[in-house]
Amino acid sequence: MNRIRKNNSFFILCLIIFTSFIFTGANVQAKDISLEEALNWGIENNSSIKEIKNSIETIERSLNLIDTEYAFKTNITANPIIAGGFEEQTDDNSNGVDEGDTTFDSISSPKISLKTTKLFPNGIILQSEISLKEEDLFDLEKLSEGPDSIFSATKSLYPVLPIKSEQEKYLASNNLLKARENLTWQQEYKKIEFLESYFNLLRLQERLS
């Protein structure tokens, strides 16, 4: 009985090994690729090519980040809105000597403001601000008049230089162009290098045969 079990175990083991060899051979045949496919695979997985592609992606991300500088920027601010609350600031003489009436009260009413800024590549900056005081929130007459608004446009006239964002964009664009040219050159160089090695192996095989 034990001998029969041993024979069955040996037969099953041989069957598993034989089956694995069959599937291994099938996988090897399935993985056979042409010279062109092997060439493309080698270029795609080359460490130097990958490094250049990573640098290109980094430069492209920096360019996208620079472009966000020209988007509309909105900022909402609200002073502490406390019912009937006003801030009083007193400026006392630091040396403690009373030199007349040097004390003043600065009273500012709490308000909500919406400020929008837009930067253009030529350096023009447009700004608009809309604000509403707390004391006007429940005043129908002032609400009907609309909130206070301020609009301004500024541009630096001197020195006549591109703004910082444009300078950074110019440098990044040049670096991107150089990196793409370098990628194309490296890909062609690696193809030639691979083909030279391939033909050297063929010549060596002919000599050995």
What would the pLDDT profile of 27-51 be if each residue is shown by its tens digit?
A: 434 456 777 787 888 888 888 999 9
CA torsion 197-39-187-47 (nearest 10°) is -80
Q: Cα 44 vs. chain centroid, distance in angstroms?
A: 24
Domains of the chain, residue spans: 34-203
- pLDDT band (50, 70, 90) for residue 105: very low
Give the predicted TM-score (pTM) of the model.
0.58
Q: pLDDT tens, 176-190?
A: 999 999 999 999 998
- Separation of first and last alpha carbons in the chain: 55
Residues 122 and 53: their CA atoms lie apart, in Å, by 32
Tell whether the model's pLDDT for residue 150 goes beyond 60.
yes
At residue 209 the predicted structure's pLDDT band, cuts being 50, 70 and 90, is: confident
| Integer Cα distance of 204 and 165 in angstroms | 58
